[in-house]
Amino acid sequence: MKRFLLAALCLPLGAAVQFPNDYAPTNQVAMDNFVAIPMRDGVKLLADIYRPTAPGKYPVIVSRTPYSTERAPNSYESAVYFAQRGYVYVYQDVRGRHESEGKWEPFRNDIGDGYDTIEWAAKQPWSNGKVGMQGGSYLGHVQWRAAMSKPPHLVTIFPAVAATSLYHDWITLNGGWRLSFNFGWGPVRQESRIMQNTGMHTMPGGPESISFDRMLWSMPLYTMQKLAGRNAQFYRDWIDHPDYDAYWKKLNAEEMFDQIGIPVHTFGGFFDIFSQGTIRGYAGVSAKGATPQARKGSNLVIGPWGHGSSRKFGDIDFGEHAHVSQHSLELRWYDFWLKGLRNGLDSEPPVKIYLMGRNEWRHENEYPLARTQYRKLFLRSGGRANGSQGDGRLSWDSPGDEKADGYRYDPDNPVPSLGGNNCCGTPTPAGPKDQRPIENRNDILVYTSDYLTEPLQATGPVKVVLHAASDALDTDFVAKLIDVYPDGRSFNMAEGILRARYREGTDKPKLLEPGKTYELTIDLVGTSVEFQPGHRIRVDIASSHFPQFDRNPNTGEEFGKGTAVKVARQTVHHSRATASHILLPVIPK
């Protein structure tokens, strides 16, 4: 075991003046390197432990990572930051990764290993017995996994940009397979070495090299990873379990919100791939938590970001107050719950939401907002809503007898991904992006409102209800909520997909009857945007969003195993009896 002495240093503060700043560091820091922490099955997980050099007992923050405590960029930053401010920081490689022993199986061992690590930390001579957890993405998800095991000394967690349900937030969205992320994060990033070649991921292999984005076109999905020279069992398992079954349920914190009794602070962005986890994590614990402390003490901060706080994301600069310092928020949270400092946290509203369009933070008492008025904005047309030059429109007035819209979805010519909720080095640009480059396609139905004469705020869950039919046994429907600027730019503000076989639930797959009209509800997760006067509201409907989501082959075959594709002919109805619409969470003035 090596020990290092680290001098105190000041880290930059965030720019968001609406949030309290942190305070200057006061402690020098010692690091114990490669400390072996025993798990219940005898496997040893190694951690670096950062602690104040002054003698005494301190509250502990545990962070568990698959990305290396030693080699990841800025891997020591959080550890030093909190140790300088009076915490012991236990930074651990998860099972089977880097310095730790055992077999790497993503997500599978994080309940027991999280419990054992927390209880070990609570009993060390430098610990005061109070333990919290910290970290984002995978490091945030494992906090939920540990909380599910209810370790006695775990006081609070702060999962940032993190999934609550691996199936619903990470692997799929409403059954639509997150292809570029699953493949890029899984067998490529975690199981291979990749080279950066002018922004493109390329697999080594001389003349037979193949680019990452070309791999995503290959079928079947089950053997795609062989093109990367890998054969990861966990990736095969994911494809073998396309439905929400027992394999996934044991990984879902949402199944256990009523057993989580500690306060939780979720933190994330509306354009993050895990925005659903950020929102549902807070909403679930605040409504169902096992104790009043969990229900009343949990907090939510969600901004106009992707996979981490920023001022500008996608094509939009959201203003000087958009970015906030995650460390400052975490420090105030831990000071309150782990040190017992009366810093005013308990006197503030628990929900902080960035209202895009107006570009300001709003404090709220709950999510969804109690004063929400859910209003239907109806899809209307004369039967020619194809593309931005079509006759599709949105209206608060319900339709009469109108001709349906139709389009042809060809899996060999899918609508390309352009912005949306993705992250982490995959080849689709995330965030709000101008949709005009793809809105001229005939396989996108475009419905646009009149110009607004006064602001309209939509904050909360968003759903699109389609009355639709297909001549295929299975297919996808994609919906986007779009803010159209006066100059014609159109920015996606929320999006969703529904794999039609999951129309009755992701645990109840059922193929379509070709030609039959179904009511299909597409969950667009949520947003907070104020559409400004002179702007228009738009809804785009398509059947593909590739490669962010895999191409539905329309055949109804077993997921990920086939190579055949079929062109599907889709019909969207909007008549008096089949009134397709978007359900907006309108906030009154």
Q: Which residues are catalytic?
A: 137, 272, 307
CA 309: distance to chain centroid?
13
Which residues sit opposite 570 in a β-bridge? 407, 470
Q: Distance between CA 443 and CA 385 in Å, rounded?
A: 10
The burial class, CB within 10 Å (0-12 / 13-18 / 19+), for 115 is buried
Q: Distance between CA 397 and CA 401 in Å, rounded?
A: 13
Amino acid 247 reads Y
Determine the 3-state secondary structure of 59 from DSSP: strand
Question: What's the sign of the alpha-carbon dihedral 297, 138, 498, 556?
Answer: negative
| Residue whose pair of structure tokens reads 């992701």 in the numeric block | 506
Q: Distance between CA 283 and CA 286 in Å, rounded?
A: 5
Specify the DSSP class assigned to residue 71. T
> Is 160 within 8 Å of 267 (Cβ atoms)?
yes
- For residue 213, give the H/E element and its range: helix 212-215
Specify the DSSP class assigned to residue 526. -
Q: Distance between CA 60 and CA 44 in Å, rounded?
A: 20
Determine the 3-state secondary structure of 231 from DSSP: coil
> Is 353 within 8 Å of 459 (Cβ atoms)?
yes
Closest Cα to residue 568, out of 438, 476, 441, 467?
Answer: 476
